[in-house]
Structure 1
Amino acid sequence: MPKRSDIKKVLVIGSGPIVIGQAAEFDYAGAQACRVLKDAGVNVVLCNSNPATIMTDKMLADEIYLEPLTEDSLKRIIIKERPDSLLASLGGQTGLTMGCKLAKSGFLDEWGVKLIGTKLDAIDRAEDRELFKETMEKIHQPVVPSDIAYTVDECVAIAEKLGYPVIVRPAFTLGGAGGGVAHDEEELRLISHNGLMLSPITQVLIEKYIGGWKEIEFEVLRDSAGNVLTVCSMENFDPVGVHTGDSIVVAPALTLSDKDYQMLRTAALEIITELGIEGGCNCQFAL
């Protein structure tokens, strides 16, 4: 692929502190990206709130800012450094959220900054629970019975329709933050209130709980020409109901029949294609 001549200076958003769902792999991937950008002659500006990372090595970036990963901090850096591009997809959930906020507020357009890497539309359709559900239904992939809520009372009404237990999944969060399983209305009100507080768009998905099902993951890649491939399959030692971040994961999956493997592999490739993601994508299935 020819080198893009329009990219001269890139602001890279780091992943911040290491937590479940946003661990050291983001730091490693970000460090590799900084190295590749520098080798290509691109000026690299890095913002990370965690100094104990590989990314903050002075050999990997031309300018390093140890600043809070907030909208205001990033705006100040953009105004000072005047990058032409912003790479947010290597900063984990924090990076994606900040990139979306800056793009949707019009700030990036105002200062002539392009969002590179994962496209805004792909981020929205993967992160917004309602859009993701609609996308899966569009390509005929089965989803658990669920509905979107923006208030605690809406959560209660949906749970009564679906039947307890239900699981609360806040939008634009990672690592299970703000979510949980509710077995009755009292638990649901507590969990959904917390989930709505933590979701940047004040949105949660109330989903029928399917604890005990087998949890399978596929890691897939796609390029800008639409070519797709499977990196590997993975099987969680613990069933659905135990968060992946707390579970042992084995690669490749060991207990799938060939029929199930091919079905899930095809589904994962259809999902990354429909979302339009260029790069890596992790697809999780309940079987």
Structure 2
Amino acid sequence: MGQGGGICADEKELVRTVKAGISLSAVGQCLLEKSIAGYKEIEFEVVRDQKNQSVIVCGMENVDPVGIHTGDSIVVAPIQTLDKEELEMLRSAALRIVSALEIEGACNVQLALHPYNRQYYVIEVNPRVSRSSALASKATGYPIAKISAKIAMGLSLDKIVDRKTKIAYAYAEPELDYIVTKLPRFAYDKFTEADRTLQTQMKATGEIMAIGKSFSESLLKGLRSLEYTAHDLTLDSLRETGIEVLKDRLQKADDERIYVIAQAFRKGVDVGEVHDLTQIDHYFLECIQNLVHLEKVLANNPLSIDYLQQAKRMGISDETVSRCWGETEEKIYQLRKNNHMLPMFDLVHTFEASDALKTPYFYSTFLHAEKKKPGLEKKKIIVIGSGPIRIGQGVEFDYATVHSINAIQDMGYEAIIINNNPETVSTDFSISDKLYFEPLTLEDVMHVIDKERPLGVVVQFGGQTAINLAAGLEARGVNILGTDLQAIDRAENRQQFEQLLDDLDLQHPSGVSVTNQSDVFKAADQLGYPILVRPSYVIGGSRMALIHNQKQLEAYLHKNSSVQDCHPVLIDKYITGIEVEIDAVSDGKTTVIPGIMEHLERPGIHSGDSIAVFPPQRISKASKQKIVDATIKIASALPIIGLINIQFIVKNNEVFVLEVNPRSSRTIPFFKQTDWGEYGKACHKLPGRAVA
């Protein structure tokens, strides 16, 4: 992923980079090459068989030029800015390379093209499936890994046929009538002090994919899918930034570059100057400039149906329109519905089905799309996925999503997934009865719900992403299956949660919830240091800190200044002891507890970063029973209908409840692989309350 490399502008940077490269090299060597920073970067995903038959599955263009790792770049498919001759030249080069290397299976070829002439260089060739292979597979509907496996087993492209139609499909090159955009997801919300500069070393932790009929529509759907605080091209922290600072940031790329570009256009910087500073093609810059211009037009024409329709066709969200007009998002939604302004859903044409057997793999668009008849018409259940991989929310939640889909299908229902992560199993079109590749926002999810009209929606398998949608969905009349919104709020809301524990006579660390910074210091003095400080309604310990004194608390508040009434800051008295964790499943009356995990690290180190053992080694039998009893009480009192994750601290045989997560957790796959053993038997001894 580019570790130890970099672009060197002078001798000082050369010395620093080479030292780092040699230290990381297994053979003590560092490769020096001519810099081609600023060239257009093009990728091809190619599949070849032993007969020298090749297919270019997908051509992709990096919005960012060479010099930024492709994993950190916005990527678009199909290629947008090359003319026919340039495209054929690079395609031919990719095919010749794959043939000369005698690749059998998947191969990723990366090339650099000079922006003003036809000179090109080969950057690298990956003779295997790559990160881009998943993106290309989901973008085209061509199952690259599956085809590569069949080639490895001796089949050729012309012999790989559809099992139902007997038509050879693997030798057909996909053609896209839509635009796919990949955006990287960074973890700087966790690592606030990290170097955010983007160069040849990859820094993204995950990515999303969005599909639209235009680059603008696809880009904005992608920005909403990232689940940052910004759901469009506006970043609040840039509002007061001066032009010279913006220009400097354009020249030195970082993770906020797309927002900096938009802000530069708002400040009057023209496309030519932005191009000179970024080397991003004029086409992409003009699309961004048009979106910025339309925002201004919207602001000057409140409640205009014509401009609202234009905004939706460009991909602008209700949230953005509501900000421009000073209206509620709910009012914009109702205005659109009253004017029949809803998206249509088009098919991604997969290559495992003939025209008569279309795979139900959909994306929404407000531009013209041919209306397709829905597939199966059984009773429907929608499962909301977990979105992009990031620290605290990874593929463990996708595991739960996929298994929930299997269970729903086994019960005879049509199972539908909404998700946007190309790296996950849930976004394989063969997993569910229908797949919708959409942002996981209230607006975009409601579009699917309005179309499908399911019996209900399941939110507990998609981590905090899906849980955060529960209130908005219920407010719009959607049936939330499993644990209801009231139970979710009782677990997530600090005051309600502590009241619940008090009512159940369960111990918990002393703590308070505050909604302004002046009260933070009063609470800290009242509780006594050390304290744990964190925002509510977060996952993965985001902005959580162990504070030992007032100076550290002042520093924490300086970095985390946005204390809001809707999401207050939680302050807990820090308790030393042994941290333990359980996952359980309940129907509100009967609770199944597969086991107890013991953390080796002290409390205050996030459970996701702690070594844990199963079964626990230092917990007494009496403490184990207290944990089991507390789990049953909490699951029954909320009540939980489905999964629950609870974390405890055990100190001197006393058990304290730390937190309750009314959803799937990271540890669900772990318990799937274990023998329930002792703890299942212990639960079974409590008739009518818990079983193994």
Name the TM-score, length of structure 1 as normaliser: 0.87
Partner in structure 1 of residue 638 of structure 2: 275
Match of 2:613 in 1: 250
Return the alpha-carbon distance in structure 2 between the equivalents of residues 241 and 13 of structure 1: 31
What is the deviation of 1:37? 1.9
2:494 is matched with which residue? 129
Alignment RMSD, CA only? 2.2
Counterpart residue number, 2:452: 81
- Asked if the contact 1:196/1:202 (under 8 Å) is kept, the reply is no
**For 2:379 and 2:520, how far apart are their aligned partners in 1?**
47
Going from structure 1 to structure 2, the CA distance change for 1:268 and 1:150 (only over 3 Å counts) comes to: same
Matches within 5 A, 1:52-201: 52-103=423-474, 106-107=475-476, 109=477, 113-192=478-557, 197=562, 201=566
For 1:128-149, what per-residue CA distance to the aligned partner results, in whole angstroms no more than 9, with x for missing partners?
Answer: 1221111111101111111111
Cα–Cα, structure 1 residues 127 and 192, in superposed 2: closer, same or farther, change >3 Å?
farther
Equivalent position SS for 2:469: helix
Distance (Å, rounded) in 1 between the aligned partners of 2:560 and 2:491: 18
Instruction: Determine which of 249, 262, 270 is the counterpart of 2:625.
Output: 262
Residue 56 of structure 1 aligns to which amino acid in structure 2?
T
In structure 2, how many angstroms separate the alpha carbons of the residues matched to 1:194 and 1:202?
A: 16
Q: Secondary structure at the match of 1:164?
A: coil
Query: CA 1:130–1:31 in structure 2 vs 1: closer, same or farther (change >3 Å)?
Result: same
SS at match of 1:101: helix
Provide the rounded CA distance (Å) in 1 between the counterparts of 2:381 and 2:495: 32
Q: Which has the larger radius of gyration?
A: 2
Q: How far apart, CA to CA, are the structure 1 residues paired with 2:558 and 2:485?
A: 28
2:602 aligns with 239
Q: 1:222 aligns with which of 556, 572, 586?
A: 586
Report the Cα distance in structure 2 between the residues aligned to 1:93 and 1:152, rounded to whole angstroms: 25
2-structure distance, mates of 1:181, 1:28: 31
Secondary structure of the residue aligned to 1:263 is helix
SS in 1 for 2:429: coil
| Segment drifting more, 238-247 vs 41-50 | 41-50
Q: CA deviation at 1:234?
A: 0.9
CA drift at 1:126:
1.1
> How far is 1:13 from its partner?
0.7
Partner Cα separation in structure 1 for residue 564 and residue 488 of structure 2:
15
CA–CA distance in structure 1, aligned partners of residues 616 and 604 of structure 2: 18
**Partner Cα distance (2:583, 2:466) in 1:** 21
Where do 5+ consecutive residues of structure 1 fail to align?
1-6
Is the 2:577–2:602 Cα contact (8 Å) retained in structure 1? yes
Cα separation, partners in 2 of 1:153 and 1:102, compared to 1, 3 Å:
farther
TM-score by length of 2: 0.38
Contact 2:384 2:459 survives alignment (8 Å): yes
Contact 1:216 1:233 in 2 (8 A): yes
| Count of aligned positions | 273
Alpha-carbon separation, structure 2, partners of 1:241 and 1:250: 17
Rounded to whole Å, the distance in 2 between the matches of 1:202 and 1:96 is 15
Encode CA deviations 1:198-245: one digit per residue, 9 max, x unaligned: 8893212111122x4211122333224x11232101100111021111
- The equivalent of 2:649 in structure 1 is 286
Instruction: Indicate the larger mover: 156-165 or 135-144.
Output: 156-165
Contact 2:457-2:480 within 8 A present in 1 as well: yes
Structure 2 runs not aligned, ≥5 long: 1-377, 651-692
Q: Which has the higher contact order (CA 8 A, sep 6+)?
A: 1
Deviation at 1:30, TM superposition (A): 0.8
Which sits farther off after the overlay, 55-64 or 172-181? 55-64
CA distance in 1, matches of 2:380, 2:546: 45
Question: What is the DSSP-based 3-state SS (H/G/I as helix, E as strand, rest coil) of the residue aligned with 1:281?
Answer: strand
The answer to whether 1:16 aligns with 2:369 is no
What is the deviation of 1:277? 0.5
Q: Conserved in 1, the CA contact under 8 Å of 2:563 and 2:569?
A: no
Per the alignment, residue 414 of structure 2 pairs with 43
Taking only the aligned residue pairs, the percentage that are identical comes to 35
The answer for the alignment partner of 2:665 in structure 1 is none
Q: Per-residue deviation at 1:195?
A: 5.9
